């Protein structure tokens, strides 16, 4: 219930199932604000290894148009979180970064843990009709909506 929320519930993605807010429960049963400092900094420093990003980072407020919130994590997948971490990109910057990579032009290639990936963007049909996506004939792939204007295809090469 929203009344029981420890943190801000204003983020639209909070209802998506892809994000979570961290809090610390003290021995006395009270919630302590998670600030990402001290021993808790491990989560912020390593969450990308598990497919998560800090959704609203301190130095990205102008880009995300949200106040920094180190307690708000978003799941984007291990490949995407690794790229975002390596390039120091927030989600908005990452989606802009991927836009030029399309199936007919050039795909973005990335290797993670010995697996090669091809990643590309497909714009959604702007008139609201069904969008057709081209995907690899063989192999594994995922399709994710970017919650804005298109889809990201991530294929194992």
How confident is the model over 79-138, as pLDDT tens digits?
Answer: 999 999 999 999 999 999 999 999 999 999 999 999 999 999 999 988 878 999 999 989
Asked if 48 and 79 touch (Cβ cutoff 8 Å), the reply is no
* Global pTM value: 0.86
Q: How far apart are CA 69 and CA 89, in angstroms?
A: 16
HEC sequence for 68-94: CEEEEEEECCHHHHHHHHHHCCCHHHH
- CB atoms inside a 10 Å sphere around CB 147: 12
């Amino acid at each position: 219930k929203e009344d029981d929320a420890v943190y801000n519930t204003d983020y639209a993605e909070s209802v998506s199932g892809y994000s979570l807010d961290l809090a610390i429960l003290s021995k006395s049963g009270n919630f302590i604000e998670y600030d990402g400092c001290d021993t808790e900094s491990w989560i912020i420093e390593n969450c990308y290894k598990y497919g998560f990003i800090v959704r609203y980072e301190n130095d990205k407020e102008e880009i995300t148009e949200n106040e920094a919130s180190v307690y708000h994590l978003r799941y984007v997948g291990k490949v995407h979180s690794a790229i975002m971490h390596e390039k120091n990109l927030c989600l908005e910057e990452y989606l802009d970064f991927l836009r030029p990579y399309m199936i007919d032009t050039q795909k973005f290639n990335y290797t993670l843990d010995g697996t090669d990936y091809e990643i590309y963007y497909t714009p959604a049909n702007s008139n609201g009709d069904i969008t057709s996506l081209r995907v690899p004939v063989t192999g594994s792939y995922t399709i994710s909506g970017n919650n804005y204007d298109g889809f990201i295809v991530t294929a194992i090469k």
